[in-house]
A and B are shown apart, each in its own frame.
Chain A
Amino acid sequence: MAADLDDIFTAMGRQADVLPLAGPDAARRIGRRRNRNAVIAAAATVLIVVAGAGAGVAWRHDPSPEPILPANTIRGIAPIGSPLRLHGPADETMLSMIAINDDRVSVASGGFENDPLEVIGVDARSGAKVWDAGRLNAIEMNGPVAVPGGMVLYDGPDLSVRDPETGAELWKTVDPANGDVVVGDGVLVRVNVGGLSEGFALRTGKKLWSVPASGDDRPRHSIGFLENTTRRSLHFSDDRFAQLTLGGTVLVRDIHTGKILKSVATTVRPKLMTGFSVSGDLALIKDTVGYLDKPSRLVAADVSTGKVRDLYSIRTGLMRDAAPCGTGRICVASTEGYTRDGGLNPETVKVIDTTTGRILWTAQFGDALLSASSRAGRVLVTSASGSASLYDVDGRVIAQGGDTFGHIGQGWIDDANVLLQTPTAKGYDITTISAVDGRRTTLGTLSAVNAECTWTSEILACRDGAELKLWRFER
């Protein structure tokens, strides 16, 4: 090759310059069609779900959102409408869940003592209540949950899909206790504990397909392909979903037909505490027996190539969890080996390159890890004592603190901003941290009795005492 690199890239640019483009009309047409059908999924509530039998870390994976540029640091909030009195006791702890679908906020609220939750819908543009779906039959910890194209509400043994615009029930089915629900591309997949997998049209409930459990090798875990997943008991996906069978096979199925697109055999024999997640083309399986003196490993099955390898392993200690942590990266939370006096070594989070298996950086913590999430390569880690740390793509600390940085909930607003709820003497401060430079902005203080927030990149919805308050983020 005679030319130097500059010249070859110039030739490549020229080659690109002569490629035809369809023009803006085609882009507008596709965008318009999407807008007709799609509802932007809401951010999860900040409720931390501790999985299984105290198995440990609950990794919150925020939706794979459209990137938001760092220039959009949040500088404040503007109230939307007037506070709305919620159903439930004013002066004692109450239960509430909030979900946001675009411009509609769905809220379930009530007391803990024999007080079924009331479900209402609020217009996020005006703050006005627009529908009332009545009371649930049971005290329920799982709903509502915003999904693209609808709102899922759990009510005891029932799972219903509702229209967030009107609150109307679109259809209803049985919640698969100890099973999995995956929502993606307009389809709701229900997998019961026996392994029966069924796909339903999300808006109509029409059964699209059904795959019976196959002997003893039935699906043990089912999960979506979007790295946001497990919003309470729901997983989110695109036009596929993944299953791990009792025999250790990773199945990738078409979400519209249930047909197997790819099957990859592994040596894992999954149990209840086996972790299963997806990062890009990699199915990640945390294979552990739960004993500190036994080894644990993280198995990566490439559903594109069919290759299976141990991505990381520990001889003794506890592998709390592993989860996608940006493109081509995973975070592994673990405590490995023992101290001289027989105690466990400090907990660490390791960020690992999934291509090479190389540990890119490690952070050490003084107490048990609670959650981790990643946006644009940056990683937010919180611990059980309430400390939180925000790292850049190379593992350098952007913001960090002890208990005073602590939280009752935290998460990404967008690529450039993190929201924290920090306990103070007066209540809970709502604070944003710029993920770019670590700058903190206190937005306000919520009640010490009841304070819980849900947000999208545009709207913040909080229960403040017995009231629902809405704000719009100002950048």
Chain B
Amino acid sequence: MSLSVKVDFDMFYRDTSRRLLRYAYGLTGDPAEAQDLVQEAYARAWQRWRRVSGYEDPEAWLRLVVNRLSTDRWRRLFVRRDHATAQPPGPTVPPPSEDVVLLVQAMRTLPAAHRRALALHYLLDRSIAEIAVETGASAGTVKSWLSRGRAGLAAALHREEIPEGARRGR
């Protein structure tokens, strides 16, 4: 592909990769797995960049790829193998706080749909309407996912209920 296409892709990567990594981390709770999924999503985007770049929201396409890969454990293992040979080991990062560790553990107990809705809502600041568009579900379903997701987190975190005030007012 031409230099301008590469520049275009690189700029897109620069603008979006951090957000995608947040999302992947929210879904998986595993730093290495999140890194692999993000790399895999961009590799797939590059394979068909001409088409993906023409979408109204290419970043949403990447999130869909990450979402699908994150729910397929076997495919994730395949991705991990592919990327382990493609990347040098990264620098060490500070360990997560105790709260984050607990949240990661709690998120892992939730169904994929709830996890996805919570990650979009809390980590990417997406409204209920935006999540509904992205997931193809109704706004009522998204509300239910978020509500049940919060309840699930509360249960997993041994709290009776996470207060409604924890939800962002939108």
Q: Report which A residues bind B (CB closer than 8 A).
A: 1-9, 11-13, 15-24, 26-32, 34-35, 38, 64, 66-72, 225, 238-240, 280-281, 304, 327-328, 355, 376-378, 392-394, 396, 436
Contacts and interface: CB of A to CB of B under 8 A. Distances in A.
Nearest to A3: B99
Contact of A32 (B13, B39, B46): B46
Given A29-B86, A31-B47, A327-B68, A5 B55 contact: no
B87 A12 contact: no
- DSSP majority for the A interface? loop
B99 A19 contact: no
B39 A9 contact: no
Given A19-B21, A72-B55, A281-B74, A30 B86 contact: yes
Given A11-B99, A12-B103, A27-B13, A436 B136 contact: yes
Contacts, number: 191
Nearest to A327: B71
Contacts of A378: 136
Contacts of A34: 43, 47
Top 10 closest pairs, chain A to chain B, by CB? A31-B46, A27-B42, A5-B166, A67-B64, A9-B122, A30-B43, A20-B90, A16-B25, A24-B13, A31-B43
Contact of A20 (B42, B91, B99): B91
B31 A19 contact: yes
Contacts of B9: 24, 28
Contacts of A225: 74
B129 interface: no
Q: Give the interface centre of A7, A31, A240 by most chain B CB atoms within 10 Å.
A: A31
Contacts of B150: 5
Nearest to A25: B10
B22 interface: yes
Interface of B: 6, 9-10, 13-14, 17-18, 21-22, 24-26, 31, 34-35, 38-40, 42-49, 55-57, 60-61, 64-65, 68, 71-75, 78, 82-83, 86-87, 90-91, 93-94, 96-100, 102-104, 111-112, 118, 122-123, 133, 135-138, 141, 150, 153, 157, 159, 162-163, 165-168
Contacts of B65: 66-67
Q: Give the interface centre of B60, B103, B167 by most chain A CB atoms within 10 Å.
A: B103
Nearest to A6: B166
Nearest to A5: B166
Given A24-B14, A327-B71, 7 more contacts: A5-B162, A5-B166, A11-B100, A21-B38, A69-B60, A238-B75, A393-B135
